[in-house]
Copies of this chain bind each other. A is one copy, B any other.
Amino acid sequence: MEFVTGIKKSECCSIEQAASGTLDGQTVRMEGTIHTIRDMGEVAFVILRKAEGLVQCVYEAGKTPCALSDLQDSMSIRVTGTVSKEERAPQGFEIRLAEVEILSRPYETLPLQISKWKLNTSLEAKLNYRSISLRNVKERAKFKIQEAIVRGFRDYLHRQGFTEIHTPKLGAKGAEGGSNLFRLDYFHTPAVLAQSPQFYKQMMVGVFDRVYEVAPVFRAEKHNTKRHLNEYTSLDFEMGYIRSFEEIMAMETGFLQYTMELLKTEYAREVKLLGIEIPDVSRIPQVRFDEAKRLVSEKYNRTIRNPYDLEPEEEVLIGRYFEEEYGSKFVFVTHYPSKKRPFYAMDDPADPTFTLSFDLLFEGMEITTGGQRIHDYKQLREKIAARKMTEEGMEQYLDTFKYGMPPHGGLGIGLERLTMKLVGEDNVREATLFPRDLSRLTP
């Protein structure tokens, strides 16, 4: 009988090992895809693309036992060769090719020049050839930054005693009401796709006190803007036993601080490659909604048209104001008007026109919405009644409160928006592997 006992030590060498200097002069094996070939006459540089970066391999006519013309871009190969220090090479070393084994070959030349430093093409072309455009090292680096954000979110919350949950995306009713829902037939029953894990994460606060989820959400919004997606990844958490909604903002600030450190340490390569300036999140200003409106109206000489709404331009100006006045790219705007928040938002006892809630703006764009929730069953039902909403389909959600729930609150962060702002893009599609928008359902 044969047994599987776990992974074996790879016969192939990683970039890190080769770059360490300890293998200089030795023969190593390495695998990768030919990113580009630069023919210099006597020698040629065969640039290998690996997940961690590019590697310079040196082809020498007469020494490397294959014809240079046998090699082409986008071939997957396994090479054997001698490592030597070379400061001009991408990783500070190069491999002099002694053997080249072709593992796989392309059938056509690439439709995009992915080996260029900056992929010089339209967003449309990038998305149409998504699995190709992402092979460009700058393009893919954005998604390592995205990975860091998600790791930071999970690792930080885990350390803070949160439990990870997985809640259903198919349901009978949406959390925020009727509009903007994708509808479908579920074995002859009408169903919708979750626009947020709101109800479920609240229900789970009664079980685990603090919970988080990283999962897709679906919004059938007919917005066609640079910052809207119809499916995105939401970073959600919900925490019980809070004394104030400010604890939620403090938790988010803690997550951001942790993640910026993670970027500086474990993602330094991608941070450098993309020229990211890690924002200072040691302290994030917080300002009331009405006060923020007043401040930008005064400073930028702008009339307040609607005291209960924030226009996108106002958001941008609030971002600008706090960058100019306090040097912060982030600002918490608190106490949003009650009528702009869902029924479960807790109204401010001092003035129920406003809620104990907040948005976090990053360079003037909303990346988070959060706040304290109503935890008292009667209060919750009264607010539903006052809004002339129906309780239908919310029975089990409401029962959770009937049987007792601690005070709690939480937030949702749009992963792609946070990624987009961090990597310095101005279209959220640039920070999404396979974006879904009004006109895009493929690839």
Contacts and interface: CB of A to CB of B under 8 A. Distances in A.
A135 interface: yes
B186 A184 contact: no
A442 interface: yes
Nearest to A130: B396
A405 interface: yes
Interface stretch (A37-45, A106-114, A304-312, A335-343): A106-114
B106 A285 contact: no
A169 B436 CA distance: 10
Interface in A42-65: 50-52
A75 to B, nearest CB: 6
A409 to B, nearest CB: 13
Interface string A424-436: 0000000001111
Nearest to A415: B166
B332 A4 contact: yes
A216 B404 contact: no
A439 B189 CA distance: 9
Contacts of A129: 396, 399
Contact of A186 (B182, B402, B434): B182
Contact of A166 (B182, B210, B216, B403): B216
A250 B8 CA distance: 8
Nearest to A378: B107
B400 A131 contact: yes
Interface string A325-339: 010000010000000
A349 interface: no
A375 B75 CA distance: 12
A179 to B, nearest CB: 14
Interface in A104-160: 104-108, 110-111, 128-132, 134-135, 140, 143-144, 146-147, 150-151, 154, 158, 160
Contact of A5 (B3, B210, B253, B415): B253
A286 interface: yes
A167 B143 CA distance: 12
A405 B104 contact: yes
A323 interface: no
A218 interface: yes
A203 B443 contact: yes
Nearest to A147: B164
A231 B169 contact: yes
A241 to B, nearest CB: 4
Contact of A74 (B78, B128, B404): B404
B405 A166 contact: no
A130 B399 CA distance: 10
Given A134-B207, A257-B6, A189 B399 contact: no
Interface string A399-424: 11011111100000001000000000
Contact of A184 (B151, B183, B249, B287): B183
Contacts of A204: 131, 134, 433
B33 A402 contact: no
A435 B167 CA distance: 9
Contacts of A395: 443
A104 B376 contact: yes
Contacts of A250: 4-8
A246 interface: yes
**Closest 4 pairs between A and B when the two form their complex, measured CB to CB:** A106-B404, A396-B443, A74-B404, A131-B203
Interface of A: 1-8, 12, 14, 31, 33, 50-52, 74-76, 78, 103-108, 110-111, 128-132, 134-135, 140, 143-144, 146-147, 150-151, 154, 158, 160-161, 163-172, 182-187, 189, 191, 193, 200, 203-204, 206-210, 215-216, 218, 220, 222, 230-231, 233, 240-241, 246-247, 249-251, 253-254, 257, 282-287, 326, 332, 375-378, 393, 395-397, 399-400, 402-407, 415, 433-436, 438-439, 441-443
